[in-house]
A and B are shown apart, each in its own frame.
Chain A
Amino acid sequence: MTQIMFNFLALLVVISAIGVVVAKNVVHGAMCLLLCLVGVAGLFVALDAYLLAFVLLLVYAGAVVALFLFIVMLLDNRGDQRPGVKHLPLYARLVALVLLLAGTASFLARAHLPSPALGAAPGVGASLKLYAYQLFTTYLLPVQVIGFLLLIAMLGVIVLSRKHEVAEDAP
């Protein structure tokens, strides 16, 4: 049962990721990204990380993809009719393809980690108490740093998106 669910979700994730890479229309790409994230959230549920699945859907599918769609709407770029793939020399394409395939294949062929058998008890990720305990004891300093990082990111976005009055020497 779990195997069937994993196969279905993995197929969904990989196909929608391919959709993100090959989509000509950026909006279609964003929709594929949304589908991919939903599949990943399903995988998190299969791994007993319910909270992370919820947070992934909330932050990524809710906020990030919406932000992407908003920016695509803002920057209407339909005037460009050229293909969406960069012009690379043939040797560069071949080298990149071979390296990518060799890396993936060497991992798939050679990495065999021992997979501990899990019992019927739910995994550690299912317990909210453990998250809270870890976040407020071991990881207290990183949590504060992350809060500060979010503040800085917010200020940075405000500064970046402000209109400059002085017209600079644009090309």
Chain B
Amino acid sequence: MISVSLNAYLALSVILFALGFLGVLVRRNTIVIFMCLELMLVAATIAFVAFSCYNGTMDGNVFVFFILTVAAAEVAVGLAIIVALFRRRQTIQVDQLDSLKN
């Protein structure tokens, strides 16, 4: 039934991870950086589910459960930090948050 090869899924996962990493590197808005982090997590889950399906084991699928849970907790805490940061500094652009630099 499944005719797509495992390599195709892994290639998609790598491309998605690279795109997320690129976003984390170049964007200035903290919220966009956070969304790109989510892209990287989702790329990892694609690889997990593909390996799990093609190897016939359950462990990758169960691990994706944990990744989803940790990602949800991470988003909640991260966005709370961003809100606290905005209250304190009135900006969420990463190049203006440079108190440690000077």
Contacts and interface: CB of A to CB of B under 8 A. Distances in A.
A84 B83 contact: no
B100 interface: no
Contacts of B12: 10, 13-14, 43
Contacts of A74: 83
B9 A47 contact: yes
A125 B92 contact: no
A3 B21 CA distance: 27
Contacts of A18: 19
Interface string B20-41: 1111011111011011101100
A146 interface: yes
B52 A49 contact: yes
B77 A49 contact: no
B39 to A, nearest CB: 6
Given A10-B12, A115-B7, A135-B62, A125 B76 contact: no
A12 to B, nearest CB: 11
A90 interface: no
A86 B23 contact: no
A166 interface: no
Interface residues on B, range: 35 or more
Given A10-B8, A153-B76, 4 more contacts: A43-B9, A67-B75, A71-B83, A75-B86
Contacts of A168: 88
A138 B59 CA distance: 10
Interface of A: 2-3, 6, 10, 13-14, 17-18, 20-21, 23, 26, 29-30, 33, 36-37, 40, 43-44, 46-49, 52, 55-56, 59-60, 63-64, 67-68, 71-72, 74-75, 77, 80, 82, 84-88, 96, 100, 103-104, 107-108, 111-113, 115-116, 118-120, 123-125, 130-131, 134-135, 138-139, 142, 146, 149-150, 153-154, 156-157, 160-161, 168, 170-171
Contacts of A125: 49, 52-53, 58, 61
25 contacts: A43-B9, A44-B49, A47-B9, A47-B50, A48-B53, A49-B53, A52-B65, A72-B31, A75-B86, A75-B92, A96-B25, A100-B22, A107-B10, A111-B10, A112-B7, A119-B1, A131-B61, A131-B65, A134-B58, A135-B62, A153-B77, A157-B77, A160-B80, A161-B80, A171-B99
B52 A86 contact: no
A26 B61 contact: no
A116 B53 CA distance: 10
Given A49-B53, A100-B22, A161-B80, A71 B31 contact: yes
